[in-house]
Structure 1
């Protein structure tokens, strides 16, 4: 019980310290990240770093010195050594030791079942060292060290956040070469990256991966499909955009509604776009569901494309109705497409797991004493 209370105090201290020192601000301040916090798990990682530092016997500098000497003597790097150094790293200088330990550990334990990859990626995310992360995850000497999709997804999210879209596709190709199955988050990251690049090549990559994913029965989320629709529209392929759009199962959301209007307008179907907007305005859905909010960007395109046409007056009228009802918003299509999905809240996941282990250990000790 005393140990559990101590752990709870440590959790509270770690959380307060992290909030005061700004440790949690790095993702909050990032732009256009596509992975939710419950997938990146950066806060959990930062809390565990604080916990490791508080319970380290001796000083951090002594630990790093001992580990470097161990590698100089060509001694075995243990799993616990690598765990600790990953959770104690705080600077580029520390990262040199971390990478040396990773290479040494993988050389001796190429088939290790412990998943160090996500820990290293979270460390690079925290320290904003995406170049180090990219060079490490694509190094063929470490093939097999990053053996799960989480590492690659976090890496691509880092690069997407920094606007390094070509590098993100390089990571995707490495992921494919290692035969790692794409998750729904992978499809979102890759399709959003292709949308940002907006080139014939990236469009081809997006369509190819979509077809292969559908053939294999891989889950492709709405956000990924929407990025593909937007990319098709940017590439002036309205017919393909419509085909992709109607493959989306759940279209009852702001993003899909805006995409539909934009798609109809760019396809020259002003009449259908106006009819759709009128229908949403007159919808008798419950107040808690709300009406469709239209981006000012989409409204501007509708106005521009309807000028001089037979539906100009109707288009202007429906736009005025939307504005008067407060359903025209400043949020751009890019912001809607590249939003961060809302994940499950896991504020102190590591400490919850630690408490559970302590309770199980206490029960076992009690049974043995009986």
Structure 2
């Protein structure tokens, strides 16, 4: 039993190490255009956040409205006072001209007004939600983003998973794991479809919180993700690490079995259901050395999955 356990633990660590090595992300800091290899690992890549792309458009719009920004903002204020219809391109321009927290006040008002006027109108594939969240990302205004994304008056404005994912990523980077969980729950309540990035974020948030409640949330979402076949190896890594931190070693083994080929000899040897009932009982109750091994294993997991202090 002990030999099998040690062999399983060694295989588990080797698999996670290979996965982490292959999928190293570049470091990216909010409000900064420069990427650096070996920086702090964040949960979303630039292909999702698209902050550089957003900032490049901002530079182009700012150049086009050079010396005319104040006039444009005054015109928008007048339009809202007179209850004139706000056009899609006008709101896009306003978002790209926004540079300060004072600018954000007018932008917020314009968003509420625009959504009230167009909540039942379809504009194809374009979504304003990610654009606004990227603006908040750049200006470090995560609280403003949280307020709007949870506001029932804007229900439907943030109808895409990208808006929620970027905001959760921003809160995660800031260490606001409770806030990130609130956004995750809000996303679920609004019926926004989860994608693979969402599950990675969700499991990472739960891992950082490391409570009984977050463990239950993680396991519930894992079951959902498995049904949808939307779990990546990185997501599995967070779920396994959380199970180990909660001393749920049997659950960690069960989760890990999904990473392996279910028909492989290794998976069959490691499957908890193949163990004798007495061994399973001792393993789950921590009466063997496995409980101590789980603490060592969790320490190794932390250094492998989060080598830069994620």
Q: TM-score range by the shorter chain?
A: 0.7 to 0.9
Q: Cα offset for 1:74?
A: 1.4
Q: Are residues 79 and 29 of structure 1, via their aligned partners in 2, closer, same or farther at CA, if it must alter by over 3 Å?
A: farther
| Equivalence map 1:46-195=2 (5 Å) | 46-56=55-65, 59-111=68-120, 112-113=122-123, 114-195=126-207
| Equivalence map 1:299-318=2 (5 Å) | none
**Which of 198, 210, 215 is the matching residue for 1:198?**
210
Q: Cα offset for 1:54?
A: 1.2
Q: Cα offset for 1:37?
A: 0.7
- The aligned residue for residue 306 of structure 2 is 335
Q: Cα offset for 1:248?
A: 1.5
Matches of 2:231 and 2:196, distance apart in 1: 5
**Which of 253, 256, 268 is the matching residue for 2:289?**
268
- The aligned residue for residue 274 of structure 2 is none
Q: Cα offset for 1:155?
A: 0.8
CA contact (8 A) 1:184 1:218 kept: no
**Which of 233, 241, 249 is the matching residue for 2:244?**
233
**Which of 223, 237, 249 is the matching residue for 1:211?**
223
Q: Cα offset for 1:144?
A: 0.2
Q: Secondary structure at the match of 2:78?
A: helix
Matches of 1:110 and 1:118, distance apart in 2: 17
Q: Are residues 147 and 301 of structure 1, via their aligned partners in 2, closer, same or farther at CA, if it must alter by over 3 Å?
A: closer
CA contact (8 A) 2:199 2:235 kept: yes
Matches of 1:209 and 1:191, distance apart in 2: 8
Post-superposition Cα deviations, 1:110-156, rounded to whole Å, max 9, x if no partner, equal: 03433000000110000111000000111100000001110010010
Matches of 1:54 and 1:154, distance apart in 2: 27
TM-score by length of 2: 0.73
Q: Secondary structure at the match of 1:120?
A: helix
CA contact (8 A) 1:184 1:219 kept: yes
CA contact (8 A) 1:30 1:161 kept: no
Residue 37 (structure 1) aligned with residue 37 (structure 2): no
Structure 1: 5+ residue runs without aligned partners? 1-21, 251-265, 274-296, 303-330, 340-370
TM-score by length of 1: 0.62
Q: Are residues 82 and 174 of structure 1, via their aligned partners in 2, closer, same or farther at CA, if it must alter by over 3 Å?
A: same
CA contact (8 A) 1:195 1:227 kept: yes
Matches of 1:28 and 1:60, distance apart in 2: 37
CA contact (8 A) 1:23 1:46 kept: no
CA contact (8 A) 1:223 1:337 kept: no
Matches of 2:101 and 2:208, distance apart in 1: 30
Q: Cα offset for 1:53?
A: 1.1
Q: Cα offset for 1:213?
A: 1.9
Q: Secondary structure at the match of 1:35?
A: coil
Larger Cα-atom Rg: 1
Matches of 1:131 and 1:138, distance apart in 2: 11
- The aligned residue for residue 325 of structure 1 is none
Q: Secondary structure at the match of 1:332?
A: helix
CA contact (8 A) 2:207 2:238 kept: yes
Post-superposition Cα deviations, 1:198-252, rounded to whole Å, max 9, x if no partner, equal: 000000000001112222x2411111111110101110110001111121249xx
CA contact (8 A) 2:241 2:298 kept: no
